[in-house]
Structure 1
């Protein structure tokens, strides 16, 4: 990269005197820049023409000339970064930024948040970790789940205000009286991000590919056949009624990529760059619904900022700052809420741990003040009072049932569960129970080989746009449940879920699902621990930001006022 090389060379010239005028020979400068005398003269001439410095040579070989500087490496780096960004060279800007990781926070400051770059409204979000590939099916990260819904479309989508399914690629659908036949009528003016028209057969092909994934096969267990009765229609034939079908198709895991390219979608934003340091989305001008108000969204992946704390894009992954967060007091809190998602504790009822013993652990957690006194940021979590609003934790009888002498707890991310595990270990030790901790460095139980070795398991349950449906999906698809339940108990659980999904009336369907979860909590198999306090802060001028169920915001609604520059 020429800009980076020129900056490096300028910095080598500048450093010995920290920018003060220098009396130096051409030979000294060539040695400093690791190049020939002829080349260093070229460098001096170019830097002089750019206005970075002045070089006044003295006649005669070996004579000292005068080198005067008109800028600093930091100021020059900023200038180069702005030039790179205005020219659409995000990679060059990031490479320039990585030269000074210690000062990166201040360096990035002018370019974060909402900016008009080259007459393009752009929102830049510095982020604390590389993003995982957006492969079809289930994704474990909140950011990845959110991006999947911004890049891809499904047959249906969740309404912004009602959180109920509405048309997306399909403009509407019909259901037979017995609930076994569903017809989705496809819009006729759909386009992939590459400009090609979307063919209904491609959507059917991608749906059939999704159903080969084990998790999705469990999710759509009632689907027997997907057919294309005519050019703009897809029909689903079910083995048993499933009135969650439109919800399942609206979920992020069911969005439909091109069958030949999983990165090619039809959502409001198209994926232009997906690399460890930079993810860039650009608006899809042929999107079939309301067009985005922003032209581009960029994630600048700057993990070195978070080695000491979670500096720039968030104090914590659930507390996002659009722009520079070093001085959060200068940003405005534009949206906040208590997450419906929760961290949970589950129990394997076995000869090692009875129902009464599990209930005693639950009572200890919720009645001893353990959750209220966790040594974490008080503005980060809030102890759970219910699984969902209105789904209260059942009262647990407090008794003196002796606990087993030893138990094993397996848990995965988020990081707060480290603290929770240690506090629970101390609390159980006071009751004469030794708790062995096993940490699984992941965000889910997928492909975890030791599930059947645990007495207790702790994890995080993300909640999507419709919370009740998301919990149904959790029970049906997460490998946790067949691992902790006996074969007969798990079979009974699936039978109960099938009976609930057959309720055409949504109120009755949700009531049946609530009964299933209440029973799990009463049996001492599940208890929620705490919810997160989602926050998004943004600088003045970034508008239209409202928290969604995943703690993000709909990129299609964000906007910037016109540039005055």
Structure 2
């Protein structure tokens, strides 16, 4: 008999004789379980071996025996789930959670809450979808990019706006900001304990530069030279005083040479970051501490993302949580500068002041009907709950319109044919390089803007990179947002924020504008 069936049998028995002590006969047990007395005896022995119950039979036919139900059926289930988890049988955990037709996602969450309370070396997080590729050049979703920051290293890293050393311990540029030298740590190992070579760094960056999506952001990198095993020089075609910050972004992660050449790696990626991938299944994604990390080791042994699609309906992009204790024993940490939700108007007719104002009013729930539009309209929206909600508002406002086509797209997917796009600008780490990434990777500017305005956009982007003062450079980029808003091309619907809710015992949370927190700084308070 499999464990799920044993649980179902024990729960049936518990309904008749639990909790605690009962005096009964073997025949009564057989009736309750719907089997023969002989089989009932076997079942009692099996459940007794699991310590779910105690059975003290009295000799003689018809004599009453002592039956003690030691624990609630759900606790017996948790015991088996813990055993399965320890044995690496993660699929069994999901099956056990659904014993006797229970709702798997809710029971799984209850178990993980319970297990988190008694485990100081694992932090468990509910998640609503399977983790996609963690190849730094192809991962565009926020969570995947956050995980990449932990699995891989970069030349630099962003620490709440401050650019700090990582693989490079120092860097310098010439007086024009055109030639940059990075001095590298020695002795860095990947998680499989193979040494990182300077050639890995060069190849990772060269492959990045030639990636179709990221090329516009990095195309000013003209040449990368190896000066020594511990130093490289990066030469640019135009000044960029913020190159060090740019190379701290997720897509600029350094990979082993053989991995950098692949579009999709069939195996778990190997990096040199603070965590390594232990399990990457459709049900569970587990990070384990990398004890060979060249930086400061993570405080926690492992981070687990438990995955069930039923958790998607309540998941907002702006919210996340760890498995929680009782509601009064939790706290919330927040970051208010994670990005923006925007409306991009590509069709000139829709940029008329009255029309664009009416659309924004709908998206901000100030009006219900769009009567100003009498022509066919198409729009796309990013695949997240917030943009889906904006799309719903727009569709409802155009309910009496006969020619409306809406399309859901992945982040970074740009559709030429649509009249309106509803999407997001992500602020990941450095706000300056995040805005540069948005402007450079949006490939349709040359179609949306006239040629003179497109050249103006490029000139302002180059000016921002050539401006040494960070605040002034960011001011140039924000002036672009103001210009596009005044021309009713790009309008911010609202600012995006993010909050994490966690039990009081989980310490070290500081929400970053990637939309998570630094996993390596988390720890569990044991008392």
Query: For the superposition of Structure 1 and Structure 2, which TM-score range results when normalised by the shorter chain?
Result: 0.7 to 0.9
- Structure 1 residue 273 corresponds to structure 2 residue 279: yes
Kept in 1, the 8 Å contact 2:289–2:301? The answer is yes
Kept in 1, the 8 Å contact 2:317–2:498? The answer is no
TM-superposed deviation, 1:302:
2.2
Identify the range of structure 1 (75-84 vs 281-290) with the bigger mean alpha-carbon deviation: 75-84
Partner of 1:112: 113
Among candidates 499, 522, 526, match of residue 463 of structure 2: 499
Partner of 2:209: 211
TM-superposed deviation, 1:11:
2.0
Among candidates 347, 361, 371, match of residue 345 of structure 2: 347
Partner of 1:526: 490
Kept in 1, the 8 Å contact 2:25–2:63? The answer is no
Kept in 1, the 8 Å contact 2:334–2:497? The answer is yes
Kept in 1, the 8 Å contact 2:338–2:498? The answer is no
Alignment of 1:463-502 (within 5 A): 463-486=427-450, 489-502=453-466
Distance, in Å, in 2 between the alignment partners of 1:114 and 1:462 is: 34
Alignment of 1:409-488 (within 5 A): 409-424=379-394, 436-440=404-408, 442-446=409-413, 451-486=415-450
Partner of 2:237: 239
Instruction: Mark the runs of 5 or more structure 1 residues left unpaired by the alignment.
Output: 376-400
Distance, in Å, in 1 between the alignment partners of 2:35 and 2:494 is: 58
Distance, in Å, in 1 between the alignment partners of 2:441 and 2:311 is: 36
Partner of 2:144: 144
Q: TM-score, normalising length from structure 1?
A: 0.79
TM-superposed deviation, 1:299:
0.6
Partner of 1:102: 103
Among candidates 357, 375, 385, match of residue 363 of structure 1: 357
Kept in 1, the 8 Å contact 2:7–2:77? The answer is no
The verdict on how the C-alpha distance between 1:531 and 1:67 changes in structure 2, with shifts beyond 3 A counting, is: farther
The verdict on how the C-alpha distance between 1:474 and 1:41 changes in structure 2, with shifts beyond 3 A counting, is: same
Partner of 1:8: 5
Distance, in Å, in 1 between the alignment partners of 2:446 and 2:299 is: 45
Alignment of 1:269-418 (within 5 A): 269-306=275-312, 309-310=313-314, 316-324=316-324, 329-350=327-348, 353=349, 355=351, 357=352, 359-365=353-359, 368=361, 371=364, 405-418=375-388
Kept in 1, the 8 Å contact 2:124–2:303? The answer is yes
Identify the range of structure 1 (254-263 vs 63-72) with the bigger mean alpha-carbon deviation: 63-72
List per-residue Cα deviations over 1:49-105 (Å, max 9, x = no partner). Answer: 333343849889xx9997946244322111222344456665554443354652653
Identify the range of structure 1 (478-487 vs 536-545) with the bigger mean alpha-carbon deviation: 478-487
Distance, in Å, in 2 between the alignment partners of 1:200 and 1:113 is: 46
- Structure 1 residue 541 corresponds to structure 2 residue 509: no
Identify the range of structure 1 (104-113 vs 294-303) with the bigger mean alpha-carbon deviation: 104-113
Distance, in Å, in 1 between the alignment partners of 2:4 and 2:56 is: 17
Q: How many residues align?
A: 508
Distance, in Å, in 2 between the alignment partners of 1:14 and 1:22 is: 18
Identify the range of structure 1 (488-497 vs 520-529) with the bigger mean alpha-carbon deviation: 488-497
Other structure's SS at 2:410 match: coil
Distance, in Å, in 2 between the alignment partners of 1:251 and 1:164 is: 13
Query: Considering only aligned residues, what root-mean-square deviation do their CA atoms show, in Å?
Result: 3.6
The verdict on how the C-alpha distance between 1:289 and 1:527 changes in structure 2, with shifts beyond 3 A counting, is: same
